């Protein structure tokens, strides 16, 4: 069955909904963790735990995780934007922003991906791309203006999140253009392990070692969520569905993540979304729809 002929079963829809929910809820869960744990230590703990979990699972499933010696440098190069860029800059940005706002800014990534594709000559500038760019710019402008006007605003964190979104987009483009011939699972696991090592090196250089005696039970549960669900089970679901997931399904899933993040933040960390947050979320939904659905559908026609 091809992706274009995909007909979702009840199980497919349930898994897709679970994936979207886990990715969306992860934003306020990360914000909850940052109340007690600094950003780089948080990434070091959760990413290394998630990478080891995926390594064990994929090895058990018989996935070939071996990387030829000549390709290690290429995998490391891919890890720079995909892991250090996206995961590093986003957690720093999240530490200075409400989680729903950070999720909205982070998920401008598809627009950056399309712009990079145009710059590299992979596609042309269309009316839909123009709409996507305008909508994403409006979202960033709304949230940046709020941060500039608020007494406790942090406009620099908006720049961190846009840098993270750009790195994610660049990593996506580089992954698409790479000719490694390795299973995506293997590339992902080894990129995460390389990134984990870097975060373990960077954390003690820039942040104090956390006082283990002060960490609450809630913090430990949030770390378990990050390892088992966000880095673990969500990745397993994604890999299991990626080959048959049509562009429209993946786009709608991505569009829903910042909305879920904004809604769940009210319950998890007590953030009350403002009108500008909802307006920005709507702009990002429009931007993702314009950037992803038509372009991918056209490429499969």
pLDDT for 1: 46
Per-residue pLDDT tens listing for the chain (301 residues): 445 455 667 777 788 888 889 999 999 999 999 999 999 999 999 999 999 999 999 999 999 999 999 999 999 999 999 999 999 999 999 999 999 999 999 988 888 888 888 888 776 777 877 888 888 888 888 888 887 876 567 889 999 999 999 999 898 888 888 888 888 889 999 999 999 999 999 999 999 999 998 999 999 999 999 999 998 888 888 777 666 666 556 666 677 888 899 999 999 999 888 888 899 889 888 888 876 664 444 444 4
pLDDT for 246: 61
The predicted-structure confidence for 212-258, as pLDDT tens digits, reads as follows 989 999 999 999 999 999 988 888 887 776 666 665 566 666 778 88
pLDDT for 244: 62
pLDDT for 297: 43
Q: How far apart are CA 200 and CA 209, in angstroms?
A: 11
- What beta strand segments (E) does 96-213 contain? none
pLDDT for 301: 41
CA proximity to 195, closest of 119, 280, 118, 83: 83
H or E segment and range at residue 48: helix 39-60
Q: How far apart are CA 143 and CA 150, in angstroms?
A: 11
Token look-up 């959760």 returns: 46
- Residue by residue, DSSP assigns 242-259 as HTT--HHHHHHHHHHHHH
Q: How far apart are CA 193 and CA 252, in angstroms?
A: 30
The predicted-structure confidence for 177-199, as pLDDT tens digits, reads as follows 888 888 888 999 999 999 999 99
Q: How far apart are CA 288 and CA 52, in angstroms?
A: 32
CA proximity to 111, closest of 88, 92, 84, 130: 130
């Amino acid at each position: 069955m091809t992706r274009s002929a995909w007909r979702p079963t009840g199980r497919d829809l349930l898994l897709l909904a679970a994936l979207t929910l886990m990715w969306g809820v992860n934003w306020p869960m990360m914000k909850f963790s940052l109340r007690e744990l600094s950003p780089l230590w948080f990434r070091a703990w959760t990413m290394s735990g998630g990478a080891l979990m995926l390594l064990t699972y994929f090895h058990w499933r018989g996935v070939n995780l071996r990387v030829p010696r000549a390709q290690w440098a290429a995998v490391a190069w891919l890890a720079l934007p995909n892991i250090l860029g996206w995961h590093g800059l986003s957690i720093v940005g999240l530490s200075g922003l409400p989680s729903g706002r950070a999720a909205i800014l982070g998920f401008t990534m598809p627009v950056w991906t399309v712009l990079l594709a145009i710059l590299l000559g992979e596609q042309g500038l269309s009316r839909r791309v123009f709409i996507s760019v305008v909508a994403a710019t409006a979202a960033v402008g709304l949230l940046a203006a709020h941060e500039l006007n608020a007494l406790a605003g942090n406009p620099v964190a908006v720049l961190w999140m846009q840098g993270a979104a750009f790195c994610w987009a660049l990593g996506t483009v580089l992954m698409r253009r790479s000719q490694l011939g390795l299973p995506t699972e293997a590339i992902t696991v080894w990129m995460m392990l390389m990134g984990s090592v870097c975060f373990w090196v960077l954390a003690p250089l820039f942040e104090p070692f956390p006082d283990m005696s002060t960490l609450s039970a809630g913090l430990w549960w949030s770390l378990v969520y990050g390892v088992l669900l966000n880095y673990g089970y969500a990745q397993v679901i994604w890999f299991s569905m990626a080959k048959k997931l049509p562009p429209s399904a993946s786009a709608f899933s991505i569009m829903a993540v910042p909305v879920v993040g904004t809604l769940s933040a009210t319950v998890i960390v007590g953030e009350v979304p403002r009108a500008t947050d909802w307006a920005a979320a709507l702009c990002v939904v429009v931007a993702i729809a314009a950037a992803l659905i038509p372009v991918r559908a056209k490429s499969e026609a």
